[in-house]
Structure 1
Amino acid sequence: MRDLISSALPSTLPTAPAPGRLALLVAAAALVAGCSMAPVHQRPAAPVPAVWAWAGDSSATAPAAATLAWQDFVTDALLRQRIAQALAHNRDLRQALLDVEAARAMYGVQRAERLPGVEVQASGNRQRLPGDLSAAGASTVQSSYQAGVGLAAFELDLFGRVRSLSEAALQEYLASEEAARSVQISLVAEVVQASLLHDSARQRVALTQRTLASREAALQLVQQRRQHGLDTALDLHEAESLTEQARTELERSERQYRQAGNALTLLLGQPPQDQEQAADQAMDQALSTLPLVQDIGPGMPADLLTHRPDIRAAEHLLQSRNASIGAARAAFFPRISLTGALGSSSAELSHLFQGGQRSWSFMPQLQLPIFDGGRNQANLDLAQVRKDMAVVAYEKSIQTAFREVADALAATDTLRREEAAQRKLVTSSAQSLTLATARYRAGVDSHLRYLDAERSHFASQLALIDVATERQIALTTLYKALGGGWKKDRTPP
């Protein structure tokens, strides 16, 4: 490399025109700027098992999350409309995308340092010298004017310092891009979950309203039977208590429904556009029978390294810290900068661009650190410690992802069976209520038996809404934990 540099630099001050020599120097700089003192990046071993402890019964036939776009994962048209609305108006996502643009601009600034800067330069100087300072013994006025094209201080990146800084900025930009993609996937999952909670609360309101109407009708019947001496005062008070219990549950469900709507509005960035349409559908369809997402397969734990945006972002940050070590190492070696200019000079402004006024200058500069109080060594130690911190963060992100997927797999598997059992319980409690109602009206059973059957059926219906919502939320959490299916080609600037 030193031979290449010595052959490119002139041994003496050139007396010939300079444009060819400046071009030769720029070409030589481009040739020698390919070296790097950064350590070779090696992906740390994943500190997680090679297979999942339990992947569920349907994992073999279910589509993988990485190959399933969110438009296919979400099967409900209204929910897809909400997600599209959130992707267009959510402020957190907008902030993440702006962070990407800022990181991209920073990379562009740092990348420009690898190329020589050429600029038009013009200057003028006019001064008066008194007689005791003038060689002629009399006061004089001196003028000088220059104009031309100059080469700003351009560092010959012999040891890859500028290249390493540019690589670090590139990896920072790519990490911010992955972070934005992670925000996108999280936003999709959050909108799904918020919509499920919102619709679940609406279903609870509708169920409680029907139950309250039924209990009010039953209370009127007990009052009529009480007037005819068929029911006791205890039966009347129990019917009144059951009615007020339903009224209390209705107010609680109304509160949850309104608060869930507020949370959904915040995610969407504006009120849901489909609110009235969804409310009409909610009266006719039960959430427990309307699947919004479908089953997905977890794949292998190693797939998380390429599918999870937060893990990819952590790896890009690790590569950035790796490149920073190369820049810190290069600071120990000489630094050569080139400055030059080519143009015209004249003592008279009117003669500046006339023939014979051509001028040039060439000013190479060499900097070699001898004593800096340990600054370079401290910077290198700091870069190495930051890389070790990035390794720990990368490994922690993998472990966190593994835990999130394992928890989601456990939830989806158990909630699937729990929902099936709860559906059977609702069917059984409905049959019990039908029989208890008939026996009570026929005078065979007491009113207490009917009340117990009515309470059990109402509680089982509420539980079915809750477990169906939890199962679909668990599926959404699994989709998010596996990295989703957000695919977008990435082309560095």
Structure 2
Amino acid sequence: MLSLLLAACAGGPALPPARPVAELAPAQWQAPLPHGGQPAQLARWWQSFDDPALARVVEAAQAASPTVAQARSRIAAAQVQRTGANATLLPRLDGTVSATRGISDPVTFQAPATTVQAGLQASWEADVFGRLRDDRSAADERLLGARAGWHEARVSVAAEAATSWFSLRTCGAIEQVAAADAASRAETARLTRLAADAGFQAPATAALAEASAAQGRMQLEQQRARCTSERKALVALTGIAEDTLAAWARDTHALPAPPNLEALPARVLAQRPDVYSAERNLLAAAADVGSADASRFPRLTLTGNVSRARFSSGSVDMTLNTWSLGPLAVTLPIFDGGVIAANRDAARVRYDEALLAYQARVRQAVREIEEALVNLESTRLREADAQRAVQGFRASLAAAESRWRTGLGSLIELEDQRRQALAAQNALVLLQQERAAALVALYRAAGGGWPPDDALATAPIPETR
């Protein structure tokens, strides 16, 4: 009765309400957890690139990643804790079986007696003040947070694999440019040597052409070594055989075209797994405060048992059935040396920490998305100028080569035009890689991409960023 009366006076913990994502971030960014955390939805985003091998590389990296495996292990551990917290709300039932044989009274020299007993013991704690329910709520939130951590691990590994694959493809594209440049230098050196042997060119000019050809071969070999290193790094990340990766990369040296982004839904912020996990941790910390606060109040427990015993000694043979209900016990903490108060204060401090961590995570998410958008737009604006630069330097190189072949131009002028054209081509390839890397960064900042088909249809307001 005392417990029931005190229940009317018990209140929840006085905690400041957590500010939701919609208040901490731009108003148009609101969303649930992305794609339901489904791997098929995550893989579908990579299939929008014009590269059939990209999705396979990402899938292999996720399958071979110890980070993803650790995330799955944390989910299993959180599931165990959630099951244990839920079990405390239910009655506990244990079965017991015992057998003894011996002489109970050695003075009268009675015959040995055998006692066999079997029974059931039950116990239950009435959660009058919500302590056990708070523990279960905290376990539920941590389980959701662990699942979001698995999703975050998959996104992180996918972004790393895609970046590594783009680096390998960029390396192959630059190797192709270097191979064409080396072949052109070698042909120039051959023609110059023939002209020098015939007396139409100075020996120094032939030496310059041969030096340029040697430099082209050196740059080509250096680029091949870089590509080999990139390929081996991707083998270590994905577990795919090096020959297979080399075959995929040989299919085409052009970088994959990024998907056409008509709009980025503003709701992607809240779908980030780290933001979702931080929110779950905040709610779990609030439940911990409630559980610690409820520990100050009485605990009501009820026990009972049912047993059947068989006793035999000499000519005596009997069976006994017993049962009991109770005691109904109320335990009220009176003096514990300040343990309950210290636990309650520590829980409140952990709640404050979780609240600040949640707010900081949202601000960091906004920053990462904005930076990725800025970098993506910057590469888009620079790509047209890079294309024009390549075309202009190629035309200038062709003109210089034509003048050199007719004897109207110098080899020094030709080599200068060749260097500029090579630099422009490499700059264009690196810019394309930068654009792909910016898109991968946006994928990661957005928490795993977004469905392009319903980007506008599901946005809460028309305005998107």
TM (norm. structure 1) is 0.79
> Which whole-Å CA distance do the structure 1 matches of 2:220 and 2:318 have between them?
94
Q: State the Cα deviation string for residues 383-442 of structure 1 (Å, max 9, x = none).
A: 011111111111111111111111111111010121211111111111001100001111
Q: In the alignment, which residue of structure 1 is the partner of 2:344?
A: 380
1:82–1:268: 8 Å Cα contact kept in structure 2?
yes
Q: What amino acid is aligned across from residue 235 of structure 2 in structure 1?
A: T
Contact 1:340 1:363 in 2 (8 A): yes
Partner of 2:139: 169
What is the deviation of 1:312? 0.2
Q: Is the 8 A contact 2:268 2:447 kept in 1?
A: no
CA distance in 1, matches of 2:93, 2:287: 27
- Counterpart CA distance in 2 for 1:145 and 1:364 is 28
The one-letter code matched in structure 2 to 1:206 is Q
Q: Classify 1:41/1:241 alpha carbon distance in 2 versus 1 (closer, same or farther; 3 Å).
A: farther
Q: 1:388 to 1:344 in 2, by over 3 A?
A: same
| Cα distance between partner residues in 1 of 2:243 and 2:411 | 47
1:297 aligns with 2:263: yes
* Alpha-carbon distance between aligned partners in 1 of 2:395 and 2:432, rounded to the nearest angstrom: 21
1:62-107: per-residue Cα shift (whole Å, max 9, x none)?
xxxx999414433421212222333333332222222212221221
Q: CA deviation at 1:237?
A: 3.7
Within the candidate set 401, 405, 420, 2:365 is matched to: 401
The 1:237–1:399 alpha-carbon spacing in structure 2 relative to 1, beyond 3 Å, is: farther
Q: Secondary structure at the match of 1:79?
A: helix
Give the 3 Å change call, closer, same or farther, for CA 482–116 of structure 1 in structure 2: same
Q: Secondary structure at the match of 1:317?
A: helix
Q: Deviations over 1:340-395 (max 9, x none)?
A: 11122343399999776343353333321111111111111110111111111111
The structure 2 residue matched to 1:86, chosen from 54, 58, 61, is 61
Instruction: Name the structure 2 match of 1:269.
Output: 239
Cα distance in 2 between the residues matched to 1:262 and 1:180: 27
Contact 1:103/1:172 (8 A) holds in 2: yes
Mark the CA change 1:236 to 1:48 in structure 2 (over 3 Å): closer, same or farther. farther
Give 1:102's aligned residue: 77
- How far apart, in 2, do the equivalents of 1:181 and 1:379 lie? 32
Shift of 1:272: 6.0
8 Å CA contact retained: 2:285, 2:350: yes
Is the 1:36–1:326 contact (alpha carbons within 8 Å) kept by the matching residues of 2? no
| Correspondences of 1:49-128 after superposition (within 5 Å) | 49-50=26-27, 69-125=44-100, 128=103
- In structure 2, do the counterparts of structure 1 residues 350 and 422 end up closer, same or farther at CA, with 3 Å as the change threshold? farther
Which residue of structure 2 lines up, in the alignment, with residue 194 of structure 1?
164
Q: Which of residues 151, 156, 162 is equivalent to 2:126?
A: 156
- Report the counterpart of residue 478 of structure 1 in structure 2: 442
Tell me the residue number matched to 2:177: 207
* 1:326 pairs with 2:297: no
8 Å Cα contact 1:68/1:485 also seen in 2: no
Q: Which moved more, 1:318-327 or 1:77-86?
A: 77-86
Offset of residue 130 of structure 1: 5.9
- Structure 2 Cα separation of the partners of residues 422 and 204 of structure 1: 15
- % identical equivalent positions: 27
Tell me the distance in 2 between the aligned counterparts of 1:228 and 1:170. Answer: 87
Residue 36 (structure 1) shift: 8.3
CA distance in 1, matches of 2:316, 2:330: 32
- For 1:353 and 1:325, locate their aligned partners in 2 and report how far apart those are by CA, in whole Å: 57
1:336 and 2:313 matched:
no
3-state SS in 2 of match to 1:172: helix
1:352-363 pair list within 5 angstroms: 357-363=321-327
Matched, 1:147 2:118: yes
Check the 8 A contact 2:393/2:417 in 1, yes or no.
Answer: yes
Q: Distance in 1 between matches of 2:407 and 2:395?
A: 18
**Alpha-carbon distance in 1 for matches of 2:310, 2:412:** 113
SS in 1 for 2:408: coil
Instruction: Provide the C-alpha distance between the structure 2 equivalents of 1:391 and 1:385, rounded to a whole number of angstroms.
Output: 10
CA RMSD of superposed structures (Å): 3.2
Q: Secondary structure at the match of 1:484?
A: coil
Query: What SS does structure 1 have at the residue aligned with 2:157?
Result: helix
Q: Report the AA paired with residue 382 of structure 2.
A: E
Q: Which residue type is aligned with residue 109 of structure 1? A: G
Deviates further, 197-206 or 244-253: 244-253
Higher deviation after alignment, 396-405 or 75-84 = 75-84
1:453, distance to aligned residue in structure 2 (A): 0.8
Amino acid at match of 2:190: Q
Is the 2:310–2:320 Cα contact (8 Å) retained in structure 1?
Answer: no
Q: Which amino acid aligns with 2:378?
A: T
Distance in 2 separating the partners of 1:434 and 1:350: 118
Runs of 5+ consecutive residues of structure 2 not aligned to the other structure: 30-40, 452-465
Call closer, same or farther: CA 1:269–1:156 in 2, change over 3 Å: farther
Change (3 A) 1:40 1:397: same
Q: Give the Cα separation in 1 of the matches to 2:221 and 2:169.
A: 16
- From 450, 457, 477, the equivalent of 2:414 is 450
Q: Gapped runs of 5+ residues in structure 1? A: 7-31, 53-65, 132-136, 488-493
* Secondary structure of 2:367's aligned partner: helix
